[in-house]
Each structure stands twice: as structure tokens, then as C-alpha cells.
């Protein structure tokens, strides 16, 4: 039987979601935890992968097991042995064909920037002291809604078969001393959100004009775009599935 786990994690201590040799990852923690409690080697498949230092407010994974008697007890037991920076919110049984990665119809990210020094945001938001023109960044972000190919914002050497993404939301908002970028799409390329944020911040500083931003999009060349924003400000915040969210 296939089970979905909903969880969240603070990514500061991890080299991302995906299992790696000689590096602590969130996937490793979940597989060790499940294998310990279920008393059999248990592999998990995540809804995607996050880079080192990136956080997730909502993340889903699936695993297969012949039968979990009580999913609430399993969730309680997992929370008891997992590190404090990983939290299990629920476990549910689904059809055997359900897939945490391939069945996701939309993913949403936020990027957090704070512009006044705040020790309580250290490591969970990007501290940037220079002025940023929010209106200009929103004008540039609106161009992403009509963009189909995002090769200019994809990490060089990635193994993506296509650069096409359908972005349904791209906007900045200000909350007191914080700026938050919201973006939703059916899929994301590797490093795409951080590359977009870094380039949009260049627009906000007046370094990159709106017309230049469009040229960068059209170029499909990563070297034309800005530097990637630091990992600590990025959050995966929502995954949409037709059989969970609706």
C-alpha cells in the first residue's frame, strides 16, 4: 500500500532534500526514521528536491508498506525520533499509483528578504540593506506570467528535458520591513526561483531595466541573468494534488 506523508522542515542544517553521499539530507532522516519504526528498509520519494539551506513549509513524500495499522501513531512515533527541525503533520493511505512527485499539479514558493537587521530572521530570511523598488520588481515579475521558457534562470548543466514552465502567480508584497516574493507554477527548473529573485532584485536596484529583463528572458542564457539569491530566504510553501487539496 502507498502512503503519503506531509511534513515541513527548516533546511539550514541540511544539504537539501535529496540523499547524498557523506552529507546530511532530509531524505536520509526520513528513511532512517521510517526504517527504524517499521523495522524494514523503507525508501521514500519526495515531491521534488530542495537545495542546501532551503526550507519547506509544506512537503510531501510517499513510501510503500504492506500495511500501517495506525497512521496517527506512526506520525507520532516519527516526530518522536526525528530532529526538531523536521515535523510530520500527517500520514494518509492513497492508491498504489499515487506519486508524490509526478502527480503534483502546482508548486508554490516564497522568497523572504528583510531590510532591517534582525537577529531572529538570521538564517531564515535574506538580509539586504540597499533600497529596492517594489513597483519595478512587480512590473518585471508580471512578465513571467506570459513567459513559457525559463532557460535563462536554470542552473547550468541541469538535466531538464524541457525549459517550459507555466507560471500562474509571480508577485512581490511588503510586510513591514520584509519583502516577500510569491511564485506558483506547474513545475520549476533547478535553481529557478533563486535566479529569478536575484535578477528581479537587480531590477529593484535600478541596475537592470524592464526591457533588459525581457531581453534576459528571451536569451534563454543563464549567464545573462543575475546572481542567484541566497538559499536561506527560499521556502517551498504549497504542493497541490487533485486528490488532496480539492
For 108, which DSSP code? Answer: E
Residues 114 and 227 in one domain: yes
Mean pLDDT of the region 68-72: 93
Same domain, 127 and 75: no
Domain boundary, last residue among 102, 123, 151: 102
160 domain-assigned: yes
Out of 142-146, 157-161, 186-190, least confident range: 157-161
The pLDDT of residue 108 is above 70: yes
Is residue 60 in some structural domain?
Answer: yes
Sign of the CA dihedral 164, 169, 174, 175? Answer: negative
Query: Does some domain include residue 167?
Result: yes
pLDDT of residue 161: 79
Residue 70: pLDDT over 80? yes
Position 21 confidence tier, pLDDT thresholds 50, 70, 90: confident
CATH number for position 77: 3.30.70.580
Looking at residue 245, its pLDDT comes to 59
Question: Do 227 and 121 fall into the same domain?
Answer: yes
My answer on whether 140 and 97 are in the same domain is: no
Asked whether residue 153 falls in the same domain as residue 221, the answer is yes
Are residues 182 and 152 part of one domain?
yes
* pTM (two decimals): 0.94
**In terms of domains, do 12 and 93 share one?**
yes
Q: How far apart are CA 226 and CA 36, in angstroms?
A: 44
Give the chain's domain count: 2
State which of 102, 131, 163 marks the end of a domain.
102
Which residue in 28, 51, 131, 177 is the catalytic one?
51
Establish if 7 belongs to a structural domain.
yes
Is residue 244 included in any domain, yes or no? no
- Across the chain, mean pLDDT equals 95
Question: What CA–CA distance (Å, rounded) separates 27 from 14?
Answer: 10
Does residue 125 sit in the same domain as residue 194?
yes
Same domain, 81 and 202: no
Task: Work out the pLDDT band at 160, boundaries 50, 70, 90.
Answer: confident
Does 63 reside within a domain?
A: yes
Q: Is the pLDDT of residue 138 over 60?
A: yes
Percent of the chain residues topping a pLDDT of 70: 99
CATH number of 191's domain: 3.30.70.660
Residues 54 and 89 in one domain: yes
CB 15 within 8 A of CB 23: yes
In a domain, 245, yes or no: no
**Is 224 domain-assigned?**
yes
| Segments forming the whole domain that contains residue 85 | 2-102
**113 pLDDT higher than 70:** yes
Q: Is the predicted pLDDT of residue 53 greater than 70, yes or no?
A: yes
pLDDT at 217: 97
The Cβ of residue 113 has, within 10 Å, a number of other Cβ atoms equal to 23
Active site residue 51: yes
Percent with pLDDT over 90 in the chain: 91
* 191 and 230 co-located in one domain: yes
pLDDT in tens, 76-87: 999 999 999 999
CA distances from 149 to 125, 162, 164, 189 (A): 28, 8, 4, 10
- Shared domain for 120 and 225, answered yes or no, is yes
Average pLDDT over residues 59-85: 96
Alpha helices in 117-191 (DSSP H): 134-142
Q: Name the domain boundary from 83, 102, 121.
A: 102
Amino acid at each position: 500500500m502507498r502512503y503519503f506523508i506531509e511534513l515541513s522542515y527548516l533546511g539550514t542544517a541540511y544539504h537539501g532534500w535529496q540523499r547524498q553521499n557523506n552529507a546530511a539530507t532530509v531524505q536520509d532522516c526520513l528513511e532512517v526514521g521510517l526504517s527504524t519504526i517499521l523495522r524494514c528498509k523503507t525508501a521514500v520519494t519526495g515531491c521534488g528536491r530542495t537545495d542546501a539551506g532551503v526550507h519547506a513549509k509544506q512537503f510531501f513524500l510517499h513510501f510503500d508498506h504492506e500495511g500501517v495499522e495506525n497512521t496517527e501513531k506512526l506520525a507520532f512515533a516519527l516526530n518522536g525520533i526525528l530532529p526538531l527541525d523536521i515535523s510530520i503533520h500527517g500520514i494518509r493511505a492513497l492508491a498504489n499509483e499515487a506519486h508524490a512527485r509526478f502527480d503534483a499539479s502546482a508548486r508554490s514558493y516564497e522568497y523572504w528578504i528583510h531590510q532591517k537587521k534582525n537577529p531572529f530572521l538570521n538564517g531564515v530570511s535574506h538580509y539586504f540593506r540597499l533600497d529596492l523598488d517594489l513597483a519595478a520588481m512587480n512590473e518585471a515579475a508580471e512578465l513571467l506570467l506570459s513567459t513559457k521558457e525559463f532557460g535563462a534562470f536554470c542552473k547550468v548543466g541541469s538535466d531538464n528535458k524541457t525549459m517550459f514552465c507555466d507560471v500562474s502567480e509571480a508577485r512581490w508584497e511588503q510586510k513591514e520591513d520584509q519583502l516577500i516574493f510569491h511564485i506558483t507554477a506547474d513545475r520549476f527548473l533547478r535553481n529557478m526561483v533563486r535566479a529569478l529573485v536575484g535578477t528581479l532584485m537587480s531590477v529593484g536596484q535600478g541596475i537592470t531595466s524592464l526591457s533588459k529583463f525581457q531581453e534576459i528572458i528571451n536569451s534563454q542564457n543563464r549567464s545573462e541573468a543575475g546572481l542567484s539569491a541566497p538559499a536561506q530566504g527560499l521556502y517551498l510553501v504549497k504542493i497541490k494534488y487533485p486528490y488532496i487539496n480539492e
